[in-house]
Structure 1
């Protein structure tokens, strides 16, 4: 089942490092069958009181693929670079079987 990685960059501490991360990360994401669906943009809260600051959404074929990417040797240096550049929240989630997803 399709899985998603949702990152929320709550605070950017080093824009230069984040720009370097952005230049390098796509190739590693794609190597693990991921693809970016959304990067940043306006966030409008329409229910509840939670908000995202700067969301990034990446799709993977399944949860195992998402974790392979996140734990991959090729991503470790980039992950450390991202951690030094931003304060973020991250969650991985998988789609559940649902009649809403039926075509």
Structure 2
């Protein structure tokens, strides 16, 4: 199953370090077959509060996503973003193509 990285960025900065980060991040993704699915789009908030924007990266596996994040190449540039933009970042595994929410609900009910 694919692995994903999501960053919820609370504010925006056009600081030179952030621009340097943007110029360098793609090269850190390539060895792990990672790519952007969304990169700081305007968001439409339908429920609750959502200050800022979102970045979504896709990898062939959760292991690849974690390996990218922990890689020396990414760790070398990460501070260029985190020093100037507040936010939260998570890694997670996607669901299988045959995922069925109703079956998940049934399994949860049966376990309760």
TM-score band, normalised by the shorter chain?
0.7 to 0.9
Mark the CA change 1:67 to 1:52 in structure 2 (over 3 Å): closer, same or farther: farther
Q: Who is 1:58 aligned against?
A: 57
Please give the alpha-carbon distance, in whole angstroms, between the structure 2 residues aligned to 1:50 and 1:66: 27
Identify unmatched segments of 5+ residues in structure 2.
102-112
Q: Who is 1:3 aligned against?
A: 3
- Greater fraction strand: 1
TM-score (norm. length: structure 1)? 0.85
Identify unmatched segments of 5+ residues in structure 1.
none
Q: Which has the higher contact order (CA 8 A, sep 6+)?
A: 1
Larger radius of gyration between Structure 1 and Structure 2 = 2
Which stretch shifts more, 7-16 or 73-82? 7-16
Instruction: Tell me how large the CA RMSD over aligned residues is.
Output: 1.7
Q: Who is 1:71 aligned against?
A: 70
Query: How many positions carry a matched residue from both structures?
Result: 99
